[in-house]
């Protein structure tokens, strides 16, 4: 049992929904009235939500054996046996195979590709044109993930795979299927088949080539995995590895647009310093305010006790990264963009900042994602001026937390003096 909701909570939740345009507002209202442990009061879908350092540690580390990553939702339907949604030995096997390609020592080797793809995308911009940084960030992140992990330059294929990829992301985003699991979902079969055909084509091409590549795809092939399981891991990495980075990059540009003073200081720093501390802080603060993965999704395998109550086996559990990052008792002025809060190391308790989850199943691409963001943002700020068009932006709960309706910025090539 969770604490009962007072009558005014419903009204406040509705107002928050209308004001913020997403379920994040109502979640904050629930957290305010009921605390760090509550259940969504709906008939068909009634997951438990927990947040805060103690709960995060429990779910991610100390009691993780009592929860399962594998669920019965469209993510499982799409990714089948992808490392993100399998448990136990199967998970550890796939994760072990993938770790070398994402180990911090491997990352410097990716720098030339990361910069080349950023250059290629930005080179298309016309001087003075207004571009949507949500779209441009996706192009950059997609090119990077496919080339670094699978040695596949998808530049020429973008027109062909763009829509199937967006459909795959839409397929796993929250929707009416939450309330009605078997709801007909027309319009997905064909694009998802196209995406599969594309990935199987890459695997097939690699199996036939004599040239030995040293990338993640080769590693999966050499490990004698079946084409189907390789496809599952590729699709997992393709989506988990680019949709998140897309959101992060887009949020950074949105926040810079909304905070011209920080934007100005950051441009000065990337122009003059090899490694900008402010850039690091801006990325960290963007990940705090708008964590691309804002919840972790689990199924309870064994009754799980929290200070506030017990979640019975079989129930759904979300640990909320977003609510943890917006908790005023942890973060001073939690709703404000203050990159300098990260200037002097960690000041908040362990498990209070979890943009990449935590424990043995923390994000495998955490170092990759941050290194990529640093390189892409520094390159773009050094080479282009960005002028925000001052339109409203709200966080949209899709597969990731995205700035909607996009981040429209006027871009101008900077003249080097």
Q: Which residues bind ligand HEM (CB under 6 A)?
A: 83-84, 95, 102, 236-237, 240-241, 244-245, 248, 292-293, 296, 355-357, 361, 363-365, 368-369
Q: How far is the CB of 357 from ligand HEM (least distance, A)?
A: 3
Q: How far is the CB of 129 from ligand HEM (least distance, A)?
A: 27
Sheet holding 384-388: strands in order across? 130-132, 408-413, 384-388
**Residue with the shortest CB distance to ligand HEM:** 365
In the complex with ligand HEM, which residue's Cβ is closer, 29 or 304? 304
Query: Do 30 and 38 meet the contact criterion of CB atoms below 8 Å apart?
Result: yes
- How do strand 384-388 and strand 67-68 relate by DSSP bridges? unpaired
In the complex with ligand HEM, which residue's Cβ is closer, 324 or 338? 324
Q: How far is the CB of 295 from ligand HEM (least distance, A)?
A: 8
Q: How far is the CB of 201 from ligand HEM (least distance, A)?
A: 21
90 vs 267: CA distance, rounded Å: 45
In the complex with ligand HEM, which residue's Cβ is closer, 122 or 246? 246
Q: How far is the CB of 30 from ligand HEM (least distance, A)?
A: 20
In the complex with ligand HEM, which residue's Cβ is closer, 16 or 377? 377
- How do strand 401-404 and strand 394-397 relate by DSSP bridges? antiparallel
Q: How far is the CB of 16 from ligand HEM (least distance, A)?
A: 24
Give me the phi and psi of 246, to 5 degrees please: -55, -50
Which residues is 401 bridged to in the sheet? 397
In the complex with ligand HEM, which residue's Cβ is closer, 95 or 404? 95
Query: Do 389 and 407 meet the contact criterion of CB atoms below 8 Å apart?
Result: no
DSSP H helical ranges for 35-183:
53-57, 74-79, 88-102, 111-123, 133-150, 158-172
Buried b (16+ CB within 10 A) or exposed e, 75-104: bbebbebbbbbbbeeebeebbebbeebbee
In the complex with ligand HEM, which residue's Cβ is closer, 122 or 400? 400
Q: How far is the CB of 217 from ligand HEM (least distance, A)?
A: 13
Angle of helix 366-383 versus helix 227-258 axis, rounded to 10: 50
Q: How far is the CB of 107 from ligand HEM (least distance, A)?
A: 11
In the complex with ligand HEM, which residue's Cβ is closer, 29 or 248? 248
In the complex with ligand HEM, which residue's Cβ is closer, 29 or 325? 325
Sheet holding 316-320: strands in order across? 37-39, 48-50, 316-320, 295-300, 67-68
Distance of CA 273 to the CA centre of its chain: 28
Which residues is 320 bridged to in the sheet? 295
Nearest 5°: the CA angle 187, 192, 195 is: 140
In the complex with ligand HEM, which residue's Cβ is closer, 161 or 293? 293
Stated as kind and residue range, the H or E segment containing 67 is strand 67-68
Q: How far is the CB of 410 from ligand HEM (least distance, A)?
A: 26
């Amino acid at each position: 049992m969770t604490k009962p909701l007072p009558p005014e909570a419903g009204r406040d939740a509705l107002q928050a929904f209308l004001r913020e345009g997403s379920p994040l507002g109502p979640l904050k209202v629930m957290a305010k009235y009921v605390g760090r442990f509550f259940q969504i009061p709906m008939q068909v879908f009634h997951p438990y939500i927990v947040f805060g350092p103690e709960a995060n540690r429990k779910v991610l580390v100390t009691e993780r054996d009592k929860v399962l990553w594998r669920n019965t939702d469209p993510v499982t339907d799409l990714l089948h046996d992808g490392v993100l949604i399998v448990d136990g030995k199967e998970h550890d096997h796939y994760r072990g195979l993938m770790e070398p390609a994402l180990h911090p020592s491997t990352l410097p080797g990716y720098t030339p590709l990361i910069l080349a793809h950023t250059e290629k995308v930005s080179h298309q911009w016309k001087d003075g044109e207004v571009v949507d940084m949500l779209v441009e960030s996706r192009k950059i992140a997609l090119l990077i993930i496919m080339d670094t992990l699978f040695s596949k330059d998808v530049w020429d294929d973008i027109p062909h795979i763009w829509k199937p990829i967006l459909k795959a992301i839409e397929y796993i985003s929250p929707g009416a299927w939450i309330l009605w699991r078997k709801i007909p979902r027309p319009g997905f079969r064909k694009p998802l088949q196209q995406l599969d055909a594309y990935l199987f084509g890459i695997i097939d091409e690699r199996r036939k080539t004599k040239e030995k590549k040293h990338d993640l795809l080769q590693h999966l092939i050499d490990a004698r995995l079946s084409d189907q399981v390789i496809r599952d891991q590729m699709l997992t990495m393709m989506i988990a590895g680019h949709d998140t980075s897309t959101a992060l990059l887009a949020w950074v540009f949105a926040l810079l647009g909304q905070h011209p003073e920080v934007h100005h200081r950051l441009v000065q720093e990337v122009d003059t310093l090899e490694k900008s501390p402010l850039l690091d802080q801006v990325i960290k603060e963007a990940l705090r305010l708008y964590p691309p993965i804002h919840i972790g999704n689990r199924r309870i395998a064994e009754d799980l006790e929290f200070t506030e109550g017990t979640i019975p086996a079989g129930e759904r559990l979300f640990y909320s990264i977003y609510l943890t990052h917006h908790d005023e008792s942890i973060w001073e002025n939690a709703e404000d963009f203050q990159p300098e809060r990260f200037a002097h190391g960690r000041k908040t308790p362990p498990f209070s900042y979890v943009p990449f989850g935590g424990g043995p199943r923390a994000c495998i691409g955490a170092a990759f994602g941050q290194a990529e963001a640093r390189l892409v943002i520094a390159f773009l700020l050094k080479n282009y001026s960005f002028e925000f068009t001052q339109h409203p932006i709200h966080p949209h709960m899709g597969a990731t937390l995205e700035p909607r309706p996009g981040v429209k910025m006027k871009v101008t090539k900077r003249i080097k003096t």
